[in-house]
Structure formats: C-alpha cells, structure tokens
Amino acid sequence: METIIQAVELMFSWPVLVALLIGSIGGVVIGAIPGVGPAVAIAILLPATFSMEPLVGLTLLLGIYGSSMYGGSLPAILINTPGTAVNALTTYDGYPMTKRGEALRALGLAYGASFFGAVLSILILILLSPVLAKVAPMFGSREIFLAALLGIILVIIAHKGQMAAAGMLAGLGILLQSVGMEPVNYTMRYTFGLDWLTSGLDLIVVVLGLFALSQAFQLIVEPDSAPDAQPVSGSMFRAMCEIWKYRRTAATGGGFGVLMGIIPGVGEFTAQFLSYTAARKRSKTPEMFGRGSPEGLVASESANNAVPAAAMIPLLALGIPGEALTAMMLSVFYVHNVVPGPGLFQNQLDFVYALYLSLLLLNVIVILWMVVSSNLLIRIIRIPTRFLGMAILVLSFVGVYSLRNSAMDCMIAAGFGVFGLILKRLNLPTVPIILGMVLGGIMEVKLRASMGRIDSLLDLVNRPIAALLVLAIIVIVAQSIRTSIRDLRARHEESNKPHQNKA
C-alpha cells in the first residue's frame, strides 16, 4: 500500500500530468492521421525526452503508444482507411456500419471496446505485479539470453508467409548492432576502416530512418490525396455505453490482447485475429462478420488496445522489448540509467506502479477527449498526404540531428529511410530489424556474462526457468514447422483437386 501511495505521489506531479495530457491527446491526433502512426511520432520525440525525468519522458511516449489506436479507429470507421496499421481489421465491420448510417454507433463501440480492453489489461498488469516481482529475480543472465532468443524466434515465426524475409532482416539487425568497436576486446567489427562507424550505429538513428523518414518519403513520392469524411452527430457517450451489451466479447478480446502482448514479437495483429475468430465462432450471427458486425468491431478494438499495457511486462520485468515501440522506450530507460529488468521490481516498484497508474489515467483522459473531439479530428484527417510527408521530414530532422549534432547521423537515417521505403512498398516487415538490433545486443551481453558458469550446453538449462524457456523454444519451433507442413499439404491437396475433377 505504501508503494502505491509513493507511486501516486510520483505520478501527481505537474510535469508527469502535462506529459500525460500531451501524450494522450497527441497520440489520438497522430493515430487519426492515416500515414503517421505512433512509431513515427515516438521516433521523432524520443531524443526530446532524453532531457526529461524518466517518468515524464516515458509517460509522454506511453501516452502516444496507448492512445493512438483510439484515434486510428476514426478514419478506419469513417473512410475505410486505418489510421494506424493495427486498425486495419476495424475497417471490416466499422466502415460497413458507417455505410448503413451507423457511424456514431460504430465509433462509440470502438472507443468503448478500446477503453474496456485497455483497462482490463492494466488491471491484470497491476494484479500480476507481485507475481512478477517474485518471478523476475529468477531471471539471471542465461534466462534473459534465452528469453531474447525466444523473442527473435517469435518475431520470425509471427511473420507468417514472410518468415524468410523476417529472418534475413532480423539477421541484418543483429549485424547492425555489432558494427563498431567491440567493448570487451576493443576490436573493430564491420567498420571497413571508416571512422564514423567506430562508435557504431545508433538505434534511434536507424529507428528514425526506418519509421519516420521512410514514411515521409513514401507520402511525398506517392500521389497526393486528402481523405474526405462526414461529421457525425448524436451522443457519443450513449453510443459508448452500448459496449456493456458486448462485454463478453470485449473481455475475450482484452484477454487475447494481454496474452499476445506479453509474448515478445507477437503483438496486436495476432491478438486481433484470435479475438475476431473467437468472436465469430461464438456469435449468433457469424455471417455478419465483415459486413458491419458490432461484435467484430468490439473484438478487434478491445484486443489491440489491451496490447500496450501487456507489452510493458517483458520490458519492465526482463528488459526485453516485444516490438518496435517498446524497443524505442528501452532507450529512454538506458539514457537515464534506469535499468529495466528484475532489479526494477525489487528496487523501484513505486516507479513501476506510477507507470501503470499513468496508463490508467491516460485511458480516462482519452475516452473523455474522444467524447467531445471526434468532429474536430475529422478535420485533421483531411490534411493532404504530401504535406504530411513534408511535415514529417521537418520533424524528423530534430529527432536525428539533436542526438549528437551530427550531419552523418542524418545521412545514415536518410539511407535507412530509403531502405524502409522499399520495404514498405514491397510489404516487407521493418520491425525484425529493430528487434534484431535490440535483442541481438541483449543476447551478446547476457550470453557472455553467463559463460563463466557454463561449461557445456547442458549447463544452459540446469535452472528451472532456463529449462522452461528452452522447452518453449523447442515446442514453438516444432509447432511452427508442423503447422507449415500441414498448410503445405492442404495447399497441395487444393491444387490437386482441379486435376482430379478433370480426370
């Protein structure tokens, strides 16, 4: 109880509250603009947060992360264009509802479901904290190494249909993190004799290039468009209250969101997919899914909004980010010498609780903001896309240049911007590069640290958590191979059918 009171004191300081307000409202606005998204905003703001107190900086970024999906559902429902990538499933049922003249109902349900999923996730997080505080110290160097390895494997496996691409890009990330002077033996790695590579490639420079600059280039080179959306009228609050009718669907969605958020490398897409599939199976009107089903809308929105809070679990408890946004937040911890991991729960539990409470408060701020601001946000959706591209370029400069006042960093970021543009246009994932960089670094440090107590491979699994992690890796890889082979056989049978029919 004393810890919670200390956390409340930490949270109710002016800088934290202002950061929370700016982050949550800014996140909604950013999420509502198709083509920007939280990754771009967080990448740009990241260096600016380095001069803030850790809780203030993290609250600002968390605000953007946690609220952007609320905003992203607005264009998904009104103009069939998801504001953020994870709102894509919302278009399936949200837009048909708008076409039926139920735009207000769809928006209300989406906001209500988002709030329901997010709050459920935060409450689970708070309840789990005492357990995490007990389990986290059981993670030594080798366990964290294995958890990071599991993260890399999951990132590759989660990109179904693109596993080879995800694998090669994760490999590129591991290589990129190793570039520069190696800190133990002081040997150069992949510097090719170039002085500017000696200090290595900064994660934030790569992130800004891959997320922000690539998005700016993409918006500028593609034809201009200014989406049109009609204002909605009626009581948004009453529309939101309808979520109570679909509380079981929302609770299931939230549950999937929590589960998928905890597992590194999986995230919102899988959570939504599982939630949507489960809701359709249980529905009395499954034929309405994809044609304007309120249950479908609730299932996808509750699942994706439950992920941000749950994604904080591996980050805070083990220092292992599960996806790109938490990977960016990890650098805020490092800059302030706050080391996320087992020690955080033992020594700074008030800080952890303050983060949870901030998450809770941000959802309250956002839901209140959404009640009054939907028609205002519709105006923001109408910003022409090439103008947005220009704006992102202007803002990206601050992010990259302010890191080290280095023009070379800007050139490197621009190079990664072009690379990111190519990946986006080819529909290839960028996240494995970032996770490869972050998790590759963690794996290198932790495996080296654990080598003192490891003589053979068996020593790697002689502790219960380590053994469990190795078992999880084996089961996941085996299951993935089994599923792939089953899909392959199904495809073969499918392709053989026409021949049999012809015969």
Nearest distance in Å: CB 175, other proteins: 3
Token digits for 345? 């729960």
Both tokens of 33, joined, read 């603009």
376 binds other proteins (CB under 8 A): no
- In the complex with other proteins, the residue whose CB is nearer, 224 or 493, is 224
110/410 with CB nearer other proteins: 410
Closer to other proteins by CB, 19 or 262: give it: 19
Helix, coil or strand: residue 188: strand
When binding is defined by CB under 8 A, the residue of 131, 346, 387, 482 that contacts other proteins is 387
Binders of other proteins in range 186-215 (CB under 8 A): 187-192, 213
Range 7-66, binding other proteins (CB under 8 A): 47-48, 51
239 close to 246: Cβ distance less than 8 angstroms: no
Count the Cβ atoms, other than its own, within 10 Å of residue 99: 12
- Span from 220-228, 239-247, 287-295, 345-353 in contact with other proteins (CB under 8 A): 220-228
> Position 109: which residue type?
L
Please give the backbone phi and psi of residue 189, each rounded to the nearest 5 degrees, phi first: -125, 120
Task: Write out 104-140 in H/E/C secondary structure.
Answer: HHHHHHHHHHHHHHHHHHHHHHHHHHHHHHHHHHHCC
Name which position in 216, 320, 354, 431 contacts other proteins (CB under 8 A): 216
Tell me if 421 contacts other proteins by CB under 8 A. yes
- Say which amino acid occupies 310: A
For residue 21, what are the CA distances in angstroms to 28, 70, 114, 259, 299?
Answer: 11, 15, 18, 28, 27
Looking at the Cβ atoms of 196 and 387, the one nearer to other proteins is 387
* The one among 3, 13, 178, 283 contacting other proteins by CB under 8 A: 178
For other proteins, which is the closer residue by CB, 208 or 309? Answer: 208
Closer residue to other proteins (CB): 80 or 178: 178
Report if residue 141 touches other proteins, rule: CB under 8 A.
no
The distance of closest approach from Cβ of residue 54 to other proteins in the complex, given in angstroms and rounded to an integer, is 16
Q: Which of 135, 397, 467, 476 contacts other proteins by CB under 8 A? A: 397
Alpha carbons within 13 A on the beta-carbon side of 334: 17
User: Smallest distance, Å, CB 410 to other proteins?
Assistant: 4
Q: Determine, following the binding rule CB under 8 A, whether residue 493 of this chain makes contact with other proteins.
A: no
Where are the extended beta strands (E) located within 158-308?
180-181, 188-189
Q: Which is nearer to other proteins, 134 or 382 (CB)?
A: 382
Residues 429-448 interacting with other proteins (rule: CB under 8 A): 436, 440, 443-444, 447-448
Number of residues engaging other proteins in binding (CB under 8 A): 77
List C-alpha distances in Å: 234 to 93, 104, 143, 369.
Answer: 20, 7, 54, 16
Burial 261-287 (b: 16+ CB within 10 A, else e): bbbbbbbbbbbbbbbbebbbeebeeee
User: In terms of CB distance, is 49 or 249 closer to other proteins?
Assistant: 49
443-472 residues in contact with other proteins (CB under 8 A) are 443-444, 447-448, 451
Nearer of residues 235 and 484 to other proteins, judged by Cβ: 484
Shortest separation between residue 214's beta carbon and other proteins, angstroms: 9
| DSSP assignment string, 402-449 | HHH--HHHHHHHHHHHHHHHHHHHTT--SHHHHHHHHHHHHHHHHHHH
Neighbours of 17 (CB within 10 A): 16
**Minimum distance from residue 347 beta carbon to other proteins (Å):** 30
